[in-house]
Structure 1
């Protein structure tokens, strides 16, 4: 099976460097017309320049592909909607959106300001919301769309000093889970990748010998699969360094107790049984979780 993107139009945010650049180049090499979106700011979100985005466009065009640059900030809804209108006018459709743009403002929660917290949420979570909202109705109307969110190990499992980043990244998983349900009948599939990659965002967070094994090319295969025609939906894939794993939000069998035993003491006494992972499931929806709870366990 050969995965191709001929006649598909893709928008990749944060595509001037790192993972986004790799996605843009790989999509174009497989036939996609690519919008290289990048604000061109520093790792903390300051500054702007379209230079990085244009450089990636030049690479794609030099290799015989089609691409256009966009310096719109993912936090600026008017600019993003205008970008989408421009793409639609130029190429007639938008088939793929990869929400990759992000910044870091790492500090312990004690030292983190509310502005540091809010800005990271605005770029990662609200940026994903804005870009997705801008293409959502078009994808529904054309009965085809592939959207990829970007989470991280911090969002899924936590990391010291990244409360803002973790909150934003897990928020994108929640967004994916609902949109996968709402998009299903319109052939709009929504997935999430959790990259482990050597990029500008991680260059001082991991030892050099580890980073050398974790280039963006080790993540791109998972991301391209998740936006391909035959992609699944509502899937979280961890990728990097040659490894690919699926992550799940699971539910244990738990316990069911009588009304007169619904006390904190009962929970304390049964916490080992409640947390026992033998026979755990992955509910398809929040309603399925509620049904399992109300039916006396799953």
Structure 2
């Protein structure tokens, strides 16, 4: 979670910011007690990396205008609606989580890394990184070129098997999404759904949600769930390759087919496909296959 500080220009804005700050502190308390050192990077390396990131974004940071709750909503409501129409995540949920995770857009990750949802690095992340204490010391967080990229990545992040059932909800069912996110393990705080719903209802974020017809819903569900299944299949393939000794792997070259590869290694095509969790016969040059049982 992101720890943020707030500045206010008038009493109304100050009350709003204090509310968000209280929410953040409540949400993050479950993580603070378990901080340990990240074994993959030293404090010196993390500090050096962060200084480089801050230097590259020094002009943007120096010209940064702090958000209020209302200016944040106005700035990001359009991208939240776009993501809702693409994937079915209520715009109110996306905006509330953005406010919640980024401290109104004024937290370090938002200002320095354009990261509004506290999304961390993983083995697939090829972009820049920013290090900050969270579940571990020097936890690795993703750095984005623009805040909008963070919003898109938030949608992509949710396209996982454990969140799949949420995409079958109506895209204006923010309460269902709030409780579903907690049930799927998005947050450890047992009050997370109530906190998110509280932000939505306090600032009337549900005004940006839109209902959809039955046919629209079916088409959107089919498209998103197909993408989730594809992601699951790719993750299984990657895991198979990463955990297989090099001598049992083969990299596809020009002219290869599943048939001639299977014959070369004494397998049937079906066995080769099963080893690599393949749904069809599609292969590409440079792809790595498991070729031994």
Give the TM-score of the pair, scaled to structure 1. Answer: 0.22
Relative CO higher for 1 or 2, CA cutoff 8 Å, sep ≥ 6? 2
- Whose radius of gyration is greater, 1 or 2? 2
Greater helix proportion: 2
Greater strand proportion: 1
